[in-house]
Amino acid sequence: MVAIPNHHFFQWVNQLENSGHDVFWFDVTDGGPKSNKIKWVTQIKGWKLKWDFPLRTKVKKGFPKLYSWIQKFNENNVSKAFQQTLISVKPDVVHCFEMQLSGLPILSSMNKNRLPFVYSSWGSDVFYFEQLGISKSELKQFYNRVNYLITDCKRDYQITISNGYKNEFLGVFPGNGGITIDKSKIKPFSKRNTILVKGYDDGVGKALKVIEALTRVPNKLLKDKTIIIYSADNTVKEQIVKHKAFKDLNVVVYSRYHFIKNVELLEIMGESCIHIANSLSDGMPNALLEAMSMGVFPIQSNPGKVTEEVITHGENGYLINNPLDAKEIASHIKNAILNDTLRKSSQDFNVHFIKEKYNRVILKSKIEVLYKNILV
């Protein structure tokens, strides 16, 4: 497995525990210590630094330009480190998660062998590849080498085909390997009083437009609600502090840099009436699937028509047509708050839908078979 340290990746890998496979993880960024979330996996880390010199962390924090210059000479090449790993491990299959960060850095190494190469598309790397700085030439070379494709939505399979991918498609799977539904954390409709907002505003994520939309919603509709913004970028937090519309409201902000355990986030979702996430690009958002599994009414952007694969507008959620239109988003928030009947009916529907389509227990055996079929 080749991936960045990521919660969804860890969840996927854990579907293979006790499956009979020896699993190795090459941390393509070599960031941080070994993960306790996948203790059973052999974790290949510590390859990046040639020399972990004294006071390195202090230099990194206090003198970033100097540190950047030093690291030009002090870091091992990803491709070479991965090549050495291949020689050492002698894997039967290589599986990379996401193209830009995990796939392209190891492509030169993979071009030197004929190992079965699996690629899981994540987020925006198929739909938004040019904006992410991936050239069509790089894309073509990568697709030519990949033997097996997994996507997290139907849309991305069609895009890869249109961009020249010709090899085997293993199917659509959620990036985290499936959703576990804890019914004990799903609050009844009458006890849901939280509006939950994903706070990414990083160029692709457009949470500031949601914040602007909330200022357009009549105060009387929000005053008895708790508004929680999670994974919030600093610009989002600053806007909330500045805007007078939030002065008299109960607003809680969890910084993007303050880690919230997934079980805690799911518990918040279980007591939320609305979940809002807005972006210019995405694959099938794991946070959306998790929110739906906990019975939340979703208001979600629909880049490249991906979200409409799970949301029918006006039936089990609202689709944001223009992620840059705060007025439209405000209208959806207002309508969702006022329409108790719609939110109540969608709660049971969404929980059942995720249980049927994205159940982690059901997908476990399918994921195990997926790898076994590659090895036949």
Backbone angles phi, psi at 169, to 5 degrees: -110, 125
Provide the 10 A C-beta neighbour count for residue 349. 16
- Strand, helix or coil at 205? strand
CATH superfamily of 2-177+360-375: Glycogen Phosphorylase B; (3.40.50.2000)
Calpha distance 263→35 (Å, rounded): 17
In our burial notation (b when 16+ CB lie closer than 10 A, e otherwise), range 135-174 reads: eeebbeebbebbbbbbbbbebbbebbeeeebeeeebebbb
Provide the 10 A C-beta neighbour count for residue 302. 19
User: Domain 183-357 maps to which CATH number in 3.30.70.940, 1.10.540.10, 3.40.50.2000, 1.10.12.10?
Assistant: 3.40.50.2000
Calpha distance 214→240 (Å, rounded): 10
Are 2-177+360-375 and 183-357 the same fold in CATH? yes
Q: What is the pLDDT of residues 67-121, one digit of tens each?
A: 677 767 767 889 999 999 999 999 999 999 999 999 999 999 999 999 999 999 9
Q: What is the pLDDT of residues 141-186, one digit of tens each?
A: 999 999 999 999 999 999 999 999 999 999 999 999 999 988 999 9
Element containing residue 160 per DSSP (H, E) = helix 154-162
Q: Where are the domains of the chain?
A: 2-177+360-375, 183-357
pLDDT score recorded for residue 352? 96
How confident is residue 254, by pLDDT bands cut at 50, 70 and 90?
very high
Distance in angstroms between the alpha carbons of the first and the last residue of the chain? 19
Nearest to 297 by CA among 323, 325, 270: 270
pLDDT score recorded for residue 76? 82
Q: Which residue has the higher pLDDT, 74 or 239?
A: 239
